Chain A
Amino acid sequence: MFSCGTSVVPSLEPILLKHGNDAGQLLQILTDVQQAFGYIPPEAVNRIAAHLNIPLARIRGVASFYSFLKLEPHGEYRLLFSDNITDRMLGNQSLLDEMCRQLWLQPGKVSEDGLVSIGLTSCTGMCDQGPAMLVNGRVITRLTPQRVREIGDLVRRRIPLEDWPAEYFVVEDNIHRAGPLLSNPFTPGDALRAALGMGEAEIVDAIKRSGLRGRGGAGFSTGLKWAACQQAPGSEKYVVCNADEGEPGTFKDRVLLTRQANWMFEGMTVCALAIGAGRGYLYLRGEYRYLLEPLQDVLQQRREAGLLGRDILGHAGFDFDIEIHLGAGAYVCGEESALIESLEGKRGIPRNRPPFPVTHGYRQQPTAVNNVETFCSAALALAMGVDNFRAMGTEKSSGSKLISVSGDCARPGIYEYPFGVSVQEVLDDCGAVNTLAVQISGPSGICIGPNEFNRKLGFEDLPTAGAFMVFDDSRDMFEVARNFVHFFAHESCGFCTPCRVGTSMLKQTMDKIAEGHGTRHDLAEVENLDLVLQTTSHCGLGRTACNPVLHTLKHFRPAYESKLKSLDFEPAFDLDGALARARRMTGRDDAGAHLKAEDV
């Protein structure tokens, strides 16, 4: 794949050329360099800096922001185990241990021969077919001890990834209940033709009338967003589709991108027509890289069918095309302004708002950013008629919603319901029994217990981006919250004080409780950290990072309290362990060379 001696420069030229020598494409350039060399060699950093005339510290800054980019070699094979709570529940930890044993390696280290490294990565969106892993960015599903042994063997024998058994890479759709979005009877172009029969303002009005609200979780009116974008002054306008589906437990966009990409692109094109955009971007999370080529094929088909490109469907002057950008492992880029920063080739830091992306988005121009499912729904609403669309669902939540069900149930996968379905109905449909809790809309959403299972999914009651993780009564909800706390600490961008420091402190305190050293004092600290995160964080990530703890404390406080010592206070660290180094150096092991836990 790469060797240290050869110059990287010749292979860089085509990459830089492909991206138009544009510093705004820095992340895409670095992603390609990573793909080509397995890491971003110093020589490449220098060359890119010189070529694009940007400071090399900026390149290092960008590369070190994204989990999948590395400035140092990390093995010809980089094995990353997906570490969502659902992967945990399916035994990813013991599989990781098994892989480490197989390859004689510690997690996080690169083998001495530079062959392989093993680590963890945030939810890969394969919760319905986990445990999952990424090998050099390619997803492998349904891991078993057997599969882990096979993979260890393939790595040791240096078999190129292309020659690994194809069944490893199969990603099932697992659709268990389809509605109009998934069993869409229309043909590509139907929505666009309907839109072309209207004026720009009429399209926006129609979308407003449909009652469509953003499917990414926040639920902002799509019509209002498009209207603001349409009215905003700007030399150039942009349509951006957010396919950075990083919220743990969410994988419905994966299925839409696989099955309904045409509808998503159609929705983007309708939006372009409405707001007057000439260019669109699909921001695809790095974990879904395997979908890149199929998506590009769909784009090409649409160009050939006159649904994209110049004079779309024969309408002179209606020019619009779409480019796909890859993310590189940063959950925060799901936040729309961070996503725009990332599209511009920068570190994915959420911007200060106002101004909002609808007036100052990509390259400071008016930009409509919507979720994959939102664009699909917009196209559907126009094709089926907005009144028919509005008739589905509830008064404030029209249309249907894709729910990604995972965790303790017989049939994990995708379920499409009209809005207003109750949690209990979903539980019944997916074959969940003895359910203790459901995490709605991922770690940043809410956790509910059985007394709330009659609540309904929809903006009136339980808004959701689609995640639906089921926990039965064998699960420890403290451990669930702890997994989520680790996730947020790993994914905090580090911009603001409360989130950068707070998520990290919260992680340490939750770990202390898990290790059996927690006291009431620590629980009070958790509550204080929650308050600071919730009230002072810069963006939604920090403001919701405390939700898993707040909600599980509310419903499952005994899961915390049973772990607490009866004492008021326990040291923040292992006192006796802190003497171990000195014991080794002095060779002492007498009673005075130890510190016992305090008996009070």
Chain B
Amino acid sequence: MSEKKKLRVATTSLAGCFGCHMSFLDIDERLFPLLDLIEFDRSPLTDIKHCGPCDIGIVEGGICNAENVHVLREFRKSCKILIAVGACAINGGLPAQRNHLDLGSCLTEVYLTEPGLAHGGIPNDPELPLPLDKVHPLHEVVKVDYFIPGCPPSGDAIWKFLTELLAGKTPELGHGLIKYD
């Protein structure tokens, strides 16, 4: 058993709040047995900037700008299994609450008409990623293999999901662990 090659896992947060990552850390001391099974590639935990070939990619947050698209595509290409974690990744979540507003009027409101924006202007630095007109869940942009719902899903839910998946089962959360809020 201990001889077994560790699975390589990458994680990232796109249009999210890192809350799902915090919740992931809520598995607490179970991180140690988990680390017997996996090792981390790109992740806020490792500070690796680009995702290499991985077994599992865990993505938090939805898609609200061009950079999100690039990162998500990189994850999809590099990871055998892609897991969307949390409300934002699954249905757009809080950032998607802007979807019924016109992007132009959002930018105008924020950068041009708000008081106190002397010499304001809509930022046009090519370094900045452009926002999409609407926020989208991950599965509308790439194929997603699994979803762990919740805002955020609890550490217990993430633990159960991952351990079942690593054990080769189709993960089920069950009452108390599955939640959308």
Q: Do chains A and B touch in the complex (CB under 8 A)?
A: yes
A interface residue numbers (CB < 8 A to B): 521, 568-569, 571-573, 575, 578-588, 590, 592-595, 598, 600
Which residues of chain B are within 8 angstroms of A593 by Cβ–Cβ distance?
Answer: 66, 126, 130
Which residues of chain A are within 8 angstroms of B123 by Cβ–Cβ distance?
Answer: 586
Which residues of chain B are within 8 angstroms of A587 by Cβ–Cβ distance?
Answer: 124
Bound-state CA distance A408–B73 (Å) is 46
Q: Which residue of A lies closest to B141 (CB)?
A: A571
Which residues of chain A are within 8 angstroms of B107 by Cβ–Cβ distance?
Answer: 582, 585
Judge whether A575 and B126 touch: CB under 8 Å: no
Which residues of chain A are within 8 angstroms of B136 by Cβ–Cβ distance?
Answer: 572-573
Which residues, 15 to 56 on B, are CB-close (under 8 Å) to A? none
Per a CB cutoff under 8 Å, which of B73, B133, B141, B143 touches A581? B133
Bound-state CA distance A497–B127 (Å) is 45
Judge whether B132 and A572 touch: CB under 8 Å: no
Judge whether B133 and A582 touch: CB under 8 Å: yes
Q: How near does chain B come to A94, taking the closest CB pair, in angstroms? A: 31
Total residue contacts A-B, CB cutoff 8 A: 63
Which residues of chain A are within 8 angstroms of B8 by Cβ–Cβ distance?
Answer: none
Given contacts A521-B143, A579-B130, contact A600 B103 (CB under 8 A): no
Judge whether A590 and B126 touch: CB under 8 Å: yes
For this complex, 29 residue pairs linking A to B, each with C-beta atoms less than 8 Å apart, are A521-B143, A569-B142, A571-B140, A572-B136, A572-B141, A573-B136, A575-B69, A575-B132, A578-B132, A578-B133, A579-B133, A580-B133, A581-B104, A582-B107, A582-B133, A583-B130, A585-B104, A585-B107, A585-B122, A586-B124, A586-B130, A588-B126, A592-B126, A593-B126, A594-B66, A595-B66, A595-B69, A598-B73, A600-B77
Bound-state CA distance A598–B143 (Å) is 13
Judge whether A584 and B104 touch: CB under 8 Å: yes
Bound-state CA distance A421–B124 (Å) is 71
B134 within 8 A of A: yes
Judge whether B143 and A569 touch: CB under 8 Å: yes
Bound-state CA distance A286–B5 (Å) is 71
Q: Which residue of B lies closest to A578 (CB)?
A: B132
Which residues of chain A are within 8 angstroms of B120 by Cβ–Cβ distance?
Answer: none
Judge whether B134 and A578 touch: CB under 8 Å: yes
Which residues of chain B are within 8 angstroms of A598 by Cβ–Cβ distance?
Answer: 73
Judge whether B124 and A579 touch: CB under 8 Å: no
Q: Which residue of B lies closest to A579 (CB)?
A: B130
Bound-state CA distance A441–B107 (Å) is 53
Which residues of chain B are within 8 angstroms of A600 by Cβ–Cβ distance?
Answer: 77
Given contacts A568-B143, A575-B69, contact A588 B124 (CB under 8 A): yes
Per a CB cutoff under 8 Å, which of A568, A573, A583 touches B140? A573
Q: How near does chain A come to B59, taking the closest CB pair, in angstroms? A: 15
Judge whether B143 and A582 touch: CB under 8 Å: no
Bound-state CA distance A580–B104 (Å) is 10
Bound-state CA distance A575–B142 (Å) is 11
Q: How near does chain A come to B71, taking the closest CB pair, in angstroms? A: 12
Q: How near does chain A come to B34, taking the closest CB pair, in angstroms? A: 29
Bound-state CA distance A109–B88 (Å) is 36
Which residues of chain B are within 8 angstroms of A571 by Cβ–Cβ distance?
Answer: 140-142
Which residues of chain A are within 8 angstroms of B129 by Cβ–Cβ distance?
Answer: 592
Bound-state CA distance A598–B70 (Å) is 10
Per a CB cutoff under 8 Å, which of A521, A582, A584, A594 touches B132? A582
Q: How near does chain A come to B99, taking the closest CB pair, in angstroms? A: 11
Given contacts A568-B143, A569-B143, A592-B66, contact A581 B103 (CB under 8 A): yes
Bound-state CA distance A315–B127 (Å) is 92
Given contacts A579-B66, A595-B69, A598-B73, contact A588 B130 (CB under 8 A): yes
Q: Which residue of A lies closest to B107 (CB)?
A: A585
Bound-state CA distance A285–B150 (Å) is 50
Which residues of chain A are within 8 angstroms of B124 by Cβ–Cβ distance?
Answer: 586-588
0/1 interface trace, chain B 132-148, chain A, CB 8 Å (1 if under): 11101000111100000
Given contacts A573-B136, A587-B124, A592-B126, contact A582 B131 (CB under 8 A): yes
Q: How near does chain A come to B27, taking the closest CB pair, in angstroms? A: 30
Bound-state CA distance A395–B66 (Å) is 67
Per a CB cutoff under 8 Å, which of A521, A568, A586, A590 touches B122? A586
Q: How near does chain B come to A581, taking the closest CB pair, in angstroms? A: 5
Which residues of chain A are within 8 angstroms of B143 by Cβ–Cβ distance?
Answer: 521, 568-569
0/1 interface trace, chain B 141-179, chain A, CB 8 Å (1 if under): 111000000000000000000000000000000000000
Judge whether B77 and A575 touch: CB under 8 Å: no
8 tightest A-B contacts by CB? A586-B124, A569-B143, A582-B130, A572-B140, A578-B132, A581-B133, A581-B103, A590-B126
